[in-house]
Structure 1
Amino acid sequence: MDQHPELGITFDCHDAQVVAAFWCRALGWVESPPPQGWDDWPSFLTDHGVPEDEWGDGAAIRPTTGDGPSISFLKVPEAKTVKNRMHLDVKVSGGRHVDQELRETRIRAKEADLVAHGARSLREDVGEDGRLDHVVMADPEGNEFCVV
């Protein structure tokens, strides 16, 4: 029987712990537990010969339910230099069928919360009717995402 691959998403970054904490906040997710067979991350890292001074070079988060893909964060030496070719949407509005005033209130509330936790608002995208559709933002290291 063929086994289907699992989806994992990885962000390159300078400070994996800071960026992982930000995305836990943005998505309401939690730190991923260590792989099966290990009680904690230090045991896993020790067993795999990772020097202790590199333990903070990576982090992983997942939905609180454990269902769905995980997001990993890995320390890299280079900085982000160009626009993302892929981005995440933080969906908080409830969809376009929701009353526009309520949608905008939800988007603005999430935007304000994320700015308070290290994000930057880059621009607003509005529809042809002049109403807010989504806000383009950047996480603490400049990775772009949308609050929709």
Structure 2
Amino acid sequence: MATRRTVTVGLALDCADPTRLAEFWKLALGYEDEPPPAPFTTREEWLARFGLSDDDQEDAAWLHDPTGANPRLFLQQVREPKLVKNRLHLDLRVSGQGSPAIRWARVRQEADRLEAAGATVVAEYSGHHVVMADPEGHEFCVC
């Protein structure tokens, strides 16, 4: 009999300014800064465990869903700019049921909220979803 492995999903996002971009994603997803792994009380202690210090580490941010229901998000600083379309993107699904018109109104309301927070609209598929980009150009959908 095969045993089932427990696997959790985390997403890593390459970016120029992880600290700034983390603020957008915390607002967008309702995420919080993720504490360092036990038994460490700070990220500095955790980095020291691997012989690293803040001086060795580029800027980074670790975020998590406080309910534990959704994947962790790690934002890591990279020097090269984003040049092409993402090969993987996030879908932010608006919860709730209702008529297509009510559901679309909720999608548009969420897209407006994220646009006010710094996202841009890339394309809109009326009645279905809105393609957006975060402040550094990473595409995602609101559906």
User: TM-score band (shorter)?
Assistant: 0.7 to 0.9
SS of residue matched to 2:128 = strand
Contact kept in structure 2, 1:93 and 1:104, CA below 8 Å: no
Partner of 1:65: 67
Q: After superposition, what is the alpha-carbon deviation per residue over 1:69-97, rounded to whole angstroms, capped at 9, x for unaligned?
A: 21111000111111111110111153xx6
Alignment of 1:144 with 2:135, yes or no, is no
Query: How far apart in 2 are the matches of 1:140 and 1:114?
Result: 10
Query: How far apart in 1 are the matches of 2:34 and 2:23?
Result: 12
Range with bigger deviation, 17-26 or 73-82: 17-26
Q: After superposition, what is the alpha-carbon deviation per residue over 1:107-137, rounded to whole angstroms, capped at 9, x for unaligned?
A: 11111111111110111013xxxxx200000
Range with bigger deviation, 59-68 or 11-20: 59-68
- What residue ranges of structure 2 are gaps of 5+ in the alignment? none
- TM-aligned CA distance change 1:98 to 1:44, over 3 Å: same
Q: TM-score scaled to structure 1, two decimals? A: 0.84
Q: After superposition, what is the alpha-carbon deviation per residue over 1:10-34, rounded to whole angstroms, capped at 9, x for unaligned?
A: 0000011111221111111111110
Identity of counterpart residues, as a percentage?
Answer: 39
Contact kept in structure 2, 1:58 and 1:73, CA below 8 Å: yes
SS of residue matched to 1:89 = strand
SS of residue matched to 2:67 = coil
SS of residue matched to 1:106 = helix
Within 5 Å, give how 1:103-114 maps onto structure 2. Answer: 103-114=103-114
Within 5 Å, give how 1:17-96 maps onto structure 2. Answer: 17-53=19-55, 57-94=59-96
Amino acid of the structure 1 residue aligned with 2:141: C
Q: CA deviation at 1:55?
A: 5.4
Contact kept in structure 2, 1:17 and 1:56, CA below 8 Å: no
Contact kept in structure 2, 1:24 and 1:30, CA below 8 Å: yes
Query: How far apart in 2 are the matches of 1:27 and 1:12?
Result: 18
Q: TM-score scaled to structure 2, two decimals? A: 0.86
Range with bigger deviation, 4-13 or 83-92: 4-13
How many residues of Structure 1 are paired with residues of Structure 2 in the alignment? 141
Partner of 2:130: 135
- What residue ranges of structure 1 are gaps of 5+ in the alignment? 127-131
Partner of 2:125: 125
